[in-house]
């Protein structure tokens, strides 16, 4: 394999600091992957599953205090504090390097350091970037093989360029009090220590492809977003691509690979990506998307043949399961799957005996599977298209049990940016901390934006000015509940009904009514045939409750206030216009 002089120099420097016993450069070959799996088993980090029922698959149990991203330990280390903004933790870069250098000093003694070059984006695309992660975790190395285009392909893309994203990771002691995930955007560098879990440790994902990439995108004129990318092919063969941002563990993956049924069984879904989209303005003035990743790191609980049959097919082999339950026949289980009749000998995610009466979850709520995108039945070779796919609609979705209607279309790009910027969602188990707490999560990027979010909003507006044919922007909410706490909307496969309305709006063939918050489906323009909705059904799902929206607007004003004068005037104007429209409506009624 060709080595790159800058990468080699940096690997040597890092090895002098961390003192690994061995350095292993990964090439991405199948034989190497087998060796890594064997090493994972030898180190008791992987438990082989039944080779007939789960071919090529393994269970990993993480440390019980290391089960999700830890936002409180995640820092953006820019020379000027204001550049990180009020929504990020900030540390002075010199202080952070100094603090972490001490923690990294000699930390890999007795361990192997894996050098993991990977390509973020399709090979041959001028938009793709090269990252290199150095890690002492074989679990990370294995997951990176699944999650990225790894090894030779990346070094070939890099050639002799000096510009690559540098990631240094060590599990260290896993001490949560000494856990740091520090980003140095100006150096294209991430240092992460004392966690081995998901987004804290697989640096290609949230650290590179979102935090560092969002910062790079601002310099270079593109967007790195927390979005799935999916093509919907109608029965005539026309494919419409949509991208959608949802906070972690809010059904983004299920939506990205939804299986149309019933009246929609003539439609086909093509999943280009389930988590991250890099968006650029094409020469034709449309917005194009590529997926920097090569695998899915999905939430296991709730994934089932009913909710996501395509994902169940994808994870049938060559999959790493993390923190799910283990049956004595070496199969895995999680909440949401049918419980086998005989559950004798079940072990929970920590390896403790488990039964449904034990009052505990068998699988951790943030337990995950890692599986190659190519195994998905809805895989499309467009995933590797260097220019990406043209996006017709952008969705902003959040988990809101009240207020936010099922679907709402923005009046235009600027209003759409406002809808994204004012998104708030109830927290989930994907991040450590309380769940179900409402928080502002603009564009589902709150934990992932590598710079000041006011500047980020401004950047979205700037991109819009370059688009000759901008995608339409929609807000969706599958999570409305009735007075008894039951979901008002069935979700999953039935979300296709909403997607159909969205696509028809893109082609100008569906009706809508103008409301103060945006365009909502007009009566009968959204297909509800055969649905058995609870409560007032559609009426409730599409209601615009003025008083509550005034309250919501006040919360948004408070949030925007955090950014002071850095806040783009256009969004403050949108805010004022919403209040004005609500007031006019109030006078009319
Ligand atoms: O742990 S990850 O950040 O990779 C997954 C998620 O929270 O979306
Ligand atoms: Mn995510």
Same domain, 237 and 273: yes
Q: Is 104 within a domain?
A: yes
pLDDT of 535 higher than 70 = no
Nearest CA to ligand 1 atom 2: 199
Q: State the closest ligand 1 atom to the C-alpha of 430, by its place in the atom list counted from 1.
A: 7
Q: What is the spatial distance between Cα 116 and Cα 143, in angstroms, rounded to a whole number?
A: 11
Angle CA 21–205–494, to nearest 5: 145
Average pLDDT over residues 473-496: 93
Same domain, 118 and 28: yes
Q: Which helix (H) or strand (E) holds 412?
A: none
Closest CA to 252 of 286, 221, 291: 291
Rounded to the nearest whole angstrom, what is the distance from the C-alpha of residue 366 to the centroid of ligand 1?
Answer: 9
Rounded to the nearest whole angstrom, what is the distance from the C-alpha of residue 275 to the centroid of ligand 2?
Answer: 5
Q: In sequence order, what are the residues at sequence separation of 6 or more whose Cβ sits closer than 8 angstroms to the Cβ of residue 213? A: 120, 129, 224, 278, 292, 450
Contact in structure between 397 and 244 (CB atoms under 8 Å) = yes
Closest CA to 313 of 381, 379, 232, 375: 375
Residue carrying the six token digits 């169940």: 312
| CB atoms near residue 372 (< 10 Å) | 18
Average pLDDT over residues 478-485: 91
**Domain of residue 162, CATH code:** 3.40.449.10
The residue from 195, 221, 247 where one domain ends is 221
Confidence at residue 534, expressed as pLDDT on a 0 to 100 scale:
63
Nearest CA to ligand 1 atom 4: 199
Q: In testing the pocket of ligand 1, which one of 183, 206, 292 has its CB within 8 Å of the most ligand atoms?
A: 206
Confidence at residue 72, expressed as pLDDT on a 0 to 100 scale:
96
Same domain, 168 and 274: no
Residue carrying the six token digits 């337990």: 367
Contact in structure between 134 and 142 (CB atoms under 8 Å) = no
Nearest CA to ligand 1 atom 6: 248
Confidence at residue 463, expressed as pLDDT on a 0 to 100 scale:
98
Q: What is the spatial distance between Cα 182 and Cα 200, in angstroms, rounded to a whole number?
A: 10
**228 alpha carbon, closest ligand:** 2
> Order of strands across the sheet with 368-372?
47-48, 58-60, 320-322, 368-372, 295-299
Q: Is 16 within a domain?
A: yes
The residue from 221, 239, 264 where one domain ends is 221
Q: How confident is the model at residue 262 (pLDDT cuts 50, 70, 90)?
A: very high
Q: Out of 77, 207, 250, 408, which one is annotated catalytic?
A: 250
Same domain, 430 and 518: yes
Q: Is 315 within a domain?
A: no
Confidence at residue 101, expressed as pLDDT on a 0 to 100 scale:
98
**Domain of residue 544, CATH code:** 3.90.228.20
Same domain, 529 and 493: yes
Rounded to the nearest whole angstrom, what is the distance from the C-alpha of residue 499 to the centroid of ligand 2?
Answer: 21
Confidence at residue 536, expressed as pLDDT on a 0 to 100 scale:
77
Q: Is 287 within a domain?
A: yes
**226 alpha carbon, closest ligand:** 2
Q: What is the spatial distance between Cα 53 and Cα 317, in angstroms, rounded to a whole number?
A: 8
Confidence at residue 54, expressed as pLDDT on a 0 to 100 scale:
98
**431 alpha carbon, closest ligand:** 1
Q: State the closest ligand 1 atom to the C-alpha of 205, by its place in the atom list counted from 1.
A: 4
Confidence at residue 523, expressed as pLDDT on a 0 to 100 scale:
79
**430 alpha carbon, closest ligand:** 1
**192 alpha carbon, closest ligand:** 1
Q: Is 345 within a domain?
A: no
Per-chain mean pLDDT for the chain: 96
Confidence at residue 540, expressed as pLDDT on a 0 to 100 scale:
92
Q: What is the spatial distance between Cα 15 and Cα 452, in angstroms, rounded to a whole number?
A: 33
Rounded to the nearest whole angstrom, what is the distance from the C-alpha of residue 200 to the centroid of ligand 2?
Answer: 12
pLDDT of 69 higher than 70 = yes
Average pLDDT over residues 348-369: 96
Q: What is the spatial distance between Cα 554 and Cα 125, in angstroms, rounded to a whole number?
A: 44
Strand partners, 555: none
Confidence at residue 1, expressed as pLDDT on a 0 to 100 scale:
60
Nearest CA to ligand 1 atom 8: 248
Rounded to the nearest whole angstrom, what is the distance from the C-alpha of residue 248 to the centroid of ligand 2?
Answer: 5
Confidence at residue 219, expressed as pLDDT on a 0 to 100 scale:
98
Tens-place pLDDT, residues 22-67: 999 999 999 999 999 999 999 999 999 999 999 999 999 999 999 9
Same domain, 165 and 232: no
Residues in contact with ligand 1 by the CB-under-6-Å rule are 69, 198-199, 205-206, 248, 297, 430
Rounded to the nearest whole angstrom, what is the distance from the C-alpha of residue 170 to the centroid of ligand 2?
Answer: 22
pLDDT of 249 higher than 90 = no
Tens-place pLDDT, residues 407-462: 999 999 999 999 999 999 999 888 888 888 999 999 999 999 999 999 999 999 99
Q: State the closest ligand 1 atom to the C-alpha of 431, by its place in the atom list counted from 1.
A: 7
Nearest CA to ligand 1 atom 5: 199
Which of 168-172, 337-341, 437-441 is most confident? Answer: 168-172
Q: Is 506 within a domain?
A: yes
Closest CA to 278 of 235, 233, 314, 224: 224
Domains in the chain: how many in total? 2
Q: In sequence order, what are the residues at sequence separation of 6 or more whose Cβ sits closer than 8 angstroms to the Cβ of residue 89? A: 71, 72, 73, 74, 75, 76
Same domain, 184 and 131: yes
Average pLDDT over residues 540-561: 94
Q: In testing the pocket of ligand 1, which one of 62, 196, 199 has its CB within 8 Å of the most ligand atoms?
A: 199
Same domain, 22 and 137: yes
Q: Which helix (H) or strand (E) holds 103?
A: helix 93-104
Q: State the closest ligand 1 atom to the C-alpha of 202, by its place in the atom list counted from 1.
A: 4
Three-state SS at 145: helix
Q: State the closest ligand 1 atom to the C-alpha of 68, by its place in the atom list counted from 1.
A: 1
Closest CA to 544 of 381, 407, 368, 392: 407
Structure tokens at 384: 């590797």
The residue from 203, 221, 239 where one domain ends is 221
Same domain, 17 and 150: yes
Residue 77 among the catalytic residues: no
Residue carrying the six token digits 């805010």: 575
Q: State the closest ligand 1 atom to the C-alpha of 69, by its place in the atom list counted from 1.
A: 1
pLDDT of 2 higher than 70 = no
Same domain, 101 and 152: yes
225 CA to centre of own chain: 8
Rounded to the nearest whole angstrom, what is the distance from the C-alpha of residue 483 to the centroid of ligand 1?
Answer: 32
Q: How confident is the model at residue 515 (pLDDT cuts 50, 70, 90)?
A: very high
**Domain of residue 169, residue span:** 5-45+70-221
Look at the alpha carbons of 502, 508, 512, 514 in this order and tell me if their dihedral is positive or negative: positive
Q: In testing the pocket of ligand 1, which one of 67, 69, 227, 425 has its CB within 8 Å of the most ligand atoms?
A: 69
Confidence at residue 532, expressed as pLDDT on a 0 to 100 scale:
83
Contact in structure between 123 and 384 (CB atoms under 8 Å) = yes
Nearest CA to ligand 1 atom 1: 199
Rounded to the nearest whole angstrom, what is the distance from the C-alpha of residue 482 to the centroid of ligand 2?
Answer: 28
Confidence at residue 221, expressed as pLDDT on a 0 to 100 scale:
98
Q: State the closest ligand 1 atom to the C-alpha of 198, by its place in the atom list counted from 1.
A: 1
Q: Is 431 within a domain?
A: yes
Q: How confident is the model at residue 589 (pLDDT cuts 50, 70, 90)?
A: low
Q: Is 303 within a domain?
A: no
Q: What is the spatial distance between Cα 121 and Cα 291, in angstroms, rounded to a whole number?
A: 6
Q: In testing the pocket of ligand 1, which one of 143, 181, 430 has its CB within 8 Å of the most ligand atoms?
A: 430
Same domain, 36 and 173: yes
Look at the alpha carbons of 36, 40, 43, 47 in this order and tell me if their dihedral is positive or negative: negative
Same domain, 116 and 241: no
Angle CA 475–478–482, to nearest 5: 120
């Amino acid at each position: 394999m060709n080595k790159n002089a800058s990468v080699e120099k940096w690997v040597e420097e890092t090895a002098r600091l961390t003192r690994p016993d061995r350095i292993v450069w990964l090439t991405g070959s199948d034989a190497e992957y087998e060796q890594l799996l064997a090493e994972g088993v030898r180190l008791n980090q992987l438990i082989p599953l039944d080779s007939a029922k789960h071919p090529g698959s393994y269970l990993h149990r993480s440390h019980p205090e290391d089960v999700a991203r830890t936002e409180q330990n995640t820092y953006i280390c820019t020379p000027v504090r204001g550049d990180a903004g009020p929504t990020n933790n900030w540390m002075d870069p010199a202080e952070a390097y100094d603090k972490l250098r001490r923690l990294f000093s000699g930390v890999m003694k007795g361990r192997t350091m894996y050098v993991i070059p990977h390509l973020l984006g399709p090979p041959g695309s001028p938009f793709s970037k090269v990252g290199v992660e150095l890690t002492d975790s074989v679990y990370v190395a294995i997951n990176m093989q699944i999650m990225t285009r790894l090894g030779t392909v990346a070094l070939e893309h890099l050639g002799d360029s000096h510009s690559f994203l540098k990631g240094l990771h060590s599990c260290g002691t896993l001490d949560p009090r000494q856990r740091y995930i520090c980003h140095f955007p100006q150096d294209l560098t991430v240092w992460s220590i004392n966690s081995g879990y998901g987004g804290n440790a697989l640096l290609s994902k949230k650290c590179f492809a979102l935090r560092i990439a969002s910062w790079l995108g601002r310099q270079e004129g593109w967007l790195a977003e927390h979005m799935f990318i999916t093509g919907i092919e109608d029965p005539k063969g026309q494919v419409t691509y949509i991208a959608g941002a949802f906070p972690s563990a809010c059904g983004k993956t299920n939506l990205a690979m939804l299986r149309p049924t019933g009246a929609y069984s003539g439609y086909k879904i093509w999943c280009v990506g389930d988590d991250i989209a890099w968006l650029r303005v094409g020469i034709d003035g449309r917005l194009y998307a590529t997926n920097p990743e090569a695998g899915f790191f999905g939430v296991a609980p709730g994934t089932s043949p009913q909710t996501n049959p395509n994902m169940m097919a994808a994870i049938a082999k060559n999959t790493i399961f993390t923190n799910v339950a283990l049956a004595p026949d070496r199969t895995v289980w999680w909440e949401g799957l049918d419980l086998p009749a005989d559950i004798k000998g079940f072990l929970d995610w920590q390896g403790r005996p488990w039964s449904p009466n034990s009052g505990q979850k068998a699988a951790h709520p943030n337990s995950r599977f890692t599986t190659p995108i190519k195994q998905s039945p809805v895989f499309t070779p467009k995933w590797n298209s260097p220019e990406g796919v043209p996006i017709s609609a952008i969705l902003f979705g959040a988990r809101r049990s009240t207020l936010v209607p099922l679907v709402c279309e923005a009046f235009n790009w600027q209003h759409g940016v406002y809808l994204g910027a004012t998104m708030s969602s109830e927290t989930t188990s994907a991040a450590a901390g309380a769940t179900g707490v409402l928080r502002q999560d603009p564009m589902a990027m709150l934990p992932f934006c590598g710079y000041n979010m006011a500047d980020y909003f401004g950047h979205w507006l700037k991109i819009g000015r370059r688009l000759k044919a901008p995608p339409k922007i929609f807000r969706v909410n599958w999570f409305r509940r009735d007075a008894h706490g039951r979901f008002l909307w069935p979700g999953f496969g039935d979300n296709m009904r909403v997607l159909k309305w969205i696509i028809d709006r893109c082609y100008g063939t569906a009706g809508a009514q103008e409301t103060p918050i945006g365009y909502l489906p007009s009566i009968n323009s959204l297909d509800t045939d055969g649905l058995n909705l609870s409560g007032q059904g559609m009426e409730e799902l599409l209601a615009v409750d003025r008083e509550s929206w005034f309250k919501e607007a006040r919360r948004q004003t408070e949030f925007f206030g955090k950014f002071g004068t850095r806040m783009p005037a256009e969004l403050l104007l949108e805010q004022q216009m919403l209040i004005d429209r609500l007031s006019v409506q109030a006078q009319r009624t």
